[in-house]
Amino acid sequence: MPRSYVHEARRGVGPKRARIVPIIERLAAEYPEATIALRFRNDLELLVSVMLSAQTTDVNVNRVTERLFEKYKQPGDYLAVPLEELERDIYATGFYRQKARALRGTMAMLLEEFDGRVPRRLEDLVRLPGVARKTANVVAAELGSPQGIVVDTHVRRLSQRLGLTRNEDPVKIERDLMKIVQREDWGRFPHLLIWHGRRVCLARLPRCESCVINDLCPSSRV
């Protein structure tokens, strides 16, 4: 079980429903450029990038996909090479055997059931091999139709510190956030927390003195 930050939310700063809008507004003003770090040019490249990003960094994925996407342009391209060749091409992302099998399974399903196109609906995306809810949420949001809220390690940590949830399970955290975050913000809200989590609200030593929402945070140390 990942470390919990629920216990850090001790101060009284008001109900979460009253705080969520100013939290989003301030973070949006602080990080107007907040967006996904993965580089892609189309729906298929987005899906592949997100699938490869499990257990590695976005920087590493971008380094691999720079060459990968010159070689694999259509779903059929991933099926036209031997499995071992695809494994070599994505080796640097880690867990390359599982990822290669998932990619081939996904490409086969795209061709068989979706006319080679990446589906937009969450219930279709999660049926693809290797695509869990988090991946599906990322893809749906980046395609302009968010149907949930992405919960990664940063979103989990900041949501707990901000007192927006007392849950540990990502699915339950997502459910808590969906109740208070306006639907039109479902796509950008995770990006704002991720950018803030990487720059200010660090896991081990949060820089509360530099935080634009420290007065709205029950975990603030200033």
Residue type (1 letter), 179: K
Instruction: Please spell the DSSP secondary structure of 24-85, one letter per residue.
Output: HHHHHHH-TT-------SSHHHHHHHHHHTTTS-HHHHHHHHHHHHHH--SHHHHHHS-HHH
- Note if 134 is an active site residue: yes
Out of 134, 176, 179, 185, the active site residue is 134
Q: Are the beta carbons of 68 and 90 closer than 8 angstroms?
A: yes
CA angle 121, 60, 91 (to 5 degrees): 90
Out of 152, 169, 172, 179, the active site residue is 152
* Dihedral in degrees, nearest 10, Cα atoms 79, 80, 83, 87: -90
Nearest of 152, 128, 134 to residue 44 by alpha carbon: 128
- Note if 152 is an active site residue: yes
The residues annotated as belonging to the active site are: 134, 152
